[in-house]
Structure 1
């Protein structure tokens, strides 16, 4: 009987510590999201515009993606939000550089970090990634978000509306975390352009009502 009471007391204390001794996390599990902290530039020095390592106009037609990050109310621009993006190369592989460390070994070298400006704006230029060879996953660009006061979390990947692998069934399964991530490309001559606005907290588990 004493042993039962002892274990019951320990269990109660553990639950209490978990409830009051830990910070509330948002977004759920996120493997690799910690890669956002591998930025070679301090967060407060990041620009709102980046040119990805694969971006080139030499024999290529790059892709420019821009948008505005909004706060949870859906209308107020959110400055100072860190965005980490990475994607496959034109062969569908995550290709790290020789001697790569940390998450670059998994995410490859085509990755960058941005910080939204005072208007909540961000922009990056890259080459369109290819889907994984021999698989049915649509081509995509991963994105992780770190906003002030909250832990990092992932939102829906950037996808391409004209990708034949993006079937109606796959569209229905999208969670729309951070809003719709499907891009409609516009050919402007020397490059393609697309726009995606991001809505903080939208469809993000455990997101606070007033962050």
Structure 2
């Protein structure tokens, strides 16, 4: 490697490590949250809309989920927030491609990234996931957030209000991190739609009050 490239590599690594060290640590343990950094598109170039690999209108009705991410006051839109989502396929498995690397091996290939726009908006299109085979966990979509100056952390999964596995007992145990993740689907003809707004820091341990 040429000296100039070595110097550039070291400088880039130093900046990355410094930025990471400056992030406020919130949210508690979060296995797999680092997968948010596996985006092939740089964070600053991500769009507010993403279509997951399974999304199709070929004899199926996809699911479109949109919402606004607000700052901790619950009123001010939060631009530039990264959202990472992943979920099971229609058989309830996290199926990965043969050449999968990193966390894709465990999270499967049905995953995607978004960056909220100036209005705090985000949207993704996918197919409704299935619950784990032979288990009582409701079907869900995992979500991890990364906002400027704070480490990545998870919030409540997207759940489906009409899911029979989402019992009253399970509803009572939800932490409502970022606000409720329970979706009420609306059939609009060629697809299902649902809305979820997110409040940064809500019920997140060690979240800075003045953020």
What is the TM-score with the length of structure 2 in the denominator? Answer: 0.89
Q: Specify the alignment match of 1:196 in structure 2.
A: 196
Q: Tell me how far apart the structure 2 counterparts of residues 96 and 78 of structure 1 sit (CA, whole Å).
A: 32
Q: Specify the alignment match of 2:58 in structure 1.
A: 58
TM-aligned CA deviation for residue 142 of structure 1: 0.1
Q: Tell me how far apart the structure 2 counterparts of residues 137 and 174 of structure 1 sit (CA, whole Å).
A: 13
Structure 2 gaps, min length 5: 1-20
TM-aligned CA deviation for residue 55 of structure 1: 0.1
Kindly report which structure 2 residues correspond to 1:2-17, keeping only aligned pairs within 5 A, or say none: none
Per-residue CA deviation, residues 38-77 of structure 1 (Å, 9 max, x unaligned), is: 0010000000000110000001100000000000000000
Kindly report which structure 2 residues correspond to 1:1-211, keeping only aligned pairs within 5 A, or say none: 24-211=24-211
Q: Tell me how far apart the structure 2 counterparts of residues 109 and 22 of structure 1 sit (CA, whole Å).
A: 31
Q: Specify the alignment match of 1:7 in structure 2.
A: none
Structure 1 gaps, min length 5: 1-20
Q: Tell me how far apart the structure 2 counterparts of residues 28 and 22 of structure 1 sit (CA, whole Å).
A: 17
- The CA RMSD over aligned residues, in Å, is 1.1
Q: Tell me how far apart the structure 1 counterparts of residues 73 and 24 of structure 2 sit (CA, whole Å).
A: 21
Runs of 4+, deviation exceeding 2 Å: 21-24
Task: State the structure with more CA Rg.
Answer: 1
Q: Specify the alignment match of 1:9 in structure 2.
A: none
Distance 1:68 1:137, change over 3 A: same
Q: Tell me how far apart the structure 1 counterparts of residues 24 and 85 of structure 2 sit (CA, whole Å).
A: 25
Q: Tell me how far apart the structure 2 counterparts of residues 105 and 81 of structure 1 sit (CA, whole Å).
A: 25
Alignment: residue pair count: 191
Q: Tell me how far apart the structure 2 counterparts of residues 95 and 182 of structure 1 sit (CA, whole Å).
A: 24
Distance 1:136 1:77, change over 3 A: same
Distance 1:126 1:74, change over 3 A: same
TM-aligned CA deviation for residue 146 of structure 1: 0.2
In structure 2, the residue corresponding to 1:122 is in which secondary structure?
A: strand
Q: Tell me how far apart the structure 1 counterparts of residues 81 and 189 of structure 2 sit (CA, whole Å).
A: 31
Q: Tell me how far apart the structure 2 counterparts of residues 85 and 23 of structure 1 sit (CA, whole Å).
A: 21
